[in-house]
Amino acid sequence: MSTLSKGAALITGASSGIGAIYAQRLARRGHDLILVARSRDKLDTLARRISDETGRSVEVIPADLSDKADLARIEEVLRNDQSIGVLVNNAGLGATAPLLSSDIGKMEEMLALNVNALMRLTYAAAPGFVARGRGTIINISSIVAIGPEVLNGVYGGSKAFVLAFSQSLHHELSEKGVTVQAVLPGATATDFWGVAGTPLEHLPAEIVMSAEDMVDAALAGLDQGELVTIPALPDLADWQAYEAARQKMLPNLSRTLPADRYKVVSKAA
Ligand code: NAP
C-alpha cells in the first residue's frame, strides 16, 4: 500500500518528462493534482488526459518559477490550500557544458529554478504539513549530487543542494509527520538532455532509463520509506556504505585542534 499521505499533490515541472509521469502515477494512486510549469497548452492537454483516465480533479497553474512574482503565486497556493498533502519539487534545468564554456547568466537561471524555487516552495509547504501532522515532500535531485564531475558543475552543485537540503528536512521534520524523499535519477529519457545541450541520442543506450521506470522505482522507494532513492543503483549496500562513512566522520569534523597530519604547533595546546 502507498505510504503517501492522501491529499492533493502539487507537482512542479509537470508539463513534460518526469513531472508528467509523476502526475499520471499520483492521480492513479488517488491524489487530486495541481500541475505547475510554464507551458499552459501542455499542462491543459495532460490535465484533460489524466482526469479522463482517473476521474481525479486536476488543476493547472502556469508559472515561471524563476520569476519572483510567479513563484510567490505558487507559494501562496501552498500556504493557503490545506488540501495539499504532497509537494513534488521536480522542475529543473540542466547543463552539460564545462565551466569555461558556460554562460554565467544561464547558470544563474539554473540556480534560481533548481535551488531557490525548490527552497521557497518547501518553506511555503512545510509549516502547513507540520501543523496538520502529515505531508510528503519529494525532491528531484540527480546522481550528479554525488558525482559532480559527471556534468556541468553548477548543475551538480544545485543537485547536491537538493540532496543536503532533503537530508536536513528529514532530520528536522520526520518526527513531525512529514515524509521527505530525495530522488537521484541517472540519465532519464526526457527533453532535459536537449535543453541541457546534449541530445539524448548521444548517450550510450545502456545508461538511459525511461521516465516511466524511473518514477515507478522512485515511488516504490518512497513506499519502502527511503529518504534517498537511486533508481538505477543495483546494490543498496553501496549507498548504505557511503552513508555510513559520512555518519562515521560526523563526530570528528569539528574539533579544537587541527589533525596531526598538518603538523600545526597549536597556541591552544
Ligand atoms: P524535462 O522533460 O525538460 O522537464 C522539465 C520540466 O520543468 C518541464 O515540465 C518544464 O516545463 C519545467 N520547467 C522548466 N523551466 C521552468 C520554469 N522556469 N518554471 C516552471 N517550470 C519549468 O526534464 P526532466 O528530465 O523531466 O526533468 C525533471 C527533473 O529531473 C529536473 O529537476 C532534472 O534536473 C531532474 N533530472 C533529470 C534527469 C534526466 O536525465 N532527464 C536526471 C536526473 C535528474 P515548461 O518548459 O513548460 O516550463
d(CA 78, CA 8): 11
Ligand 1 centroid from CA 113, angstroms: 10
Measuring CA to CA, how many Å separate 166 from each of 32, 73, 103, 153, 169?
24, 23, 28, 20, 5
What is the structure's pLDDT at 3? 42
Position 128 scores a pLDDT of 98
From the CA of 185, give the closest atom in ligand 1.
43
φ, ψ at 192 (rounded to 5°): -45, -45
Position 2 scores a pLDDT of 46
Whole-number Å distance between alpha carbons of 255 and 257: 6
- End-to-end alpha carbon distance in the chain: 58
The phi and psi torsions of 212 (rounded to 5 degrees) equal: -60, -50
Instruction: Give, for ligand 1, the residue of 18, 144, 152 to mutate: max count of ligand atoms closer than 8 Å to Cβ.
Output: 18
Separation of CA 3 and ligand 1 centre (Å): 25
Nearest to 197 by CA among 162, 145, 155, 234: 155
Supply the pLDDT for residue 268: 79
The mean pLDDT of 193-207, rounded to a whole number, is 94
pLDDT tens for residues 55-67?
999 999 999 999 9
Residue 95 has pLDDT above 60, yes or no: yes
Q: Please identify, by atom number, the ligand 1 atom nearest to the C-alpha of residue 188.
A: 40
CATH topology of domain 8-236: Rossmann fold (3.40.50)
Q: Which atom of ligand 1 is nearest to the CA of 70?
A: 19
Active-site residue identified among 22, 155, 242, 262:
155
Tell whether ligand 1 has an atom less than 6 A from the beta carbon of residue 41: no
Q: Which atom of ligand 1 is nearest to the CA of 91?
A: 7
Tens-digit pLDDT profile for residues 220-255 = 999 999 999 999 999 999 999 999 999 999 999 999
Domain layout of the chain by residue ranges: 8-236
pLDDT (0 to 100) of residue 269:
58
pLDDT, mean of residues 105-123: 98
Mean of pLDDT values over 103-112:
97
pLDDT at 267: 86
Residue 129 Cβ inside 6 Å of ligand 1? The answer reads: no
Distance 25 CA to ligand 1 centre (A): 17
Does the C-beta of 16 come closer than 6 Å to ligand 1?
Answer: yes
37 lines ligand 1 (CB under 6 A): yes
Q: Looking at the CA of residue 20, tell me the nearest atom of ligand 1.
A: 9
Query: What is the whole-number distance in angstroms between the Cα of residue 132 and the centre of ligand 1?
Result: 30
| DSSP 8-state code for residue 6 | P
Cβ–ligand 1 contact at 152 (below 6 Å):
no
**Which pLDDT does position 27 carry in this prediction?**
98
pLDDT at residue 6, as a whole number: 72
pLDDT score at 33: 98
Q: How many Å apart are CA 80 and CA 87, to the nearest integer?
A: 14
**152 Rama sector, left if φ>0, alpha if ψ -120 to 50, beta otherwise:** beta
- Please state, for a pLDDT cut of 90, what percent of the chain lies above it: 96
Probe target for ligand 1 pocket from 90, 151, 183, 195, with the most ligand atoms within 8 Å of CB: 90
Whether the Cβ atoms of residue 84 and residue 134 lie closer than 8 Å to each other: no
Q: Has 155 been annotated as catalytic? A: yes
Strands (E) in the chain, as ranges, are 8-12, 33-37, 58-62, 84-89, 135-140, 178-183, 188-189, 209-210, 228-229
- Interior/surface letters 238-269, b for 16+ CB within 10 angstroms, e for the rest: ebeeeeeeeeeeeeeeeeeeeeeeeeeeeeee
Average pLDDT of every residue of the chain = 96
Residue 196 Cα to ligand 1 midpoint, Å, equals 10
pLDDT digits (tens, 9 = 90+) for 150-180: 999 999 999 999 999 999 999 999 999 999 9
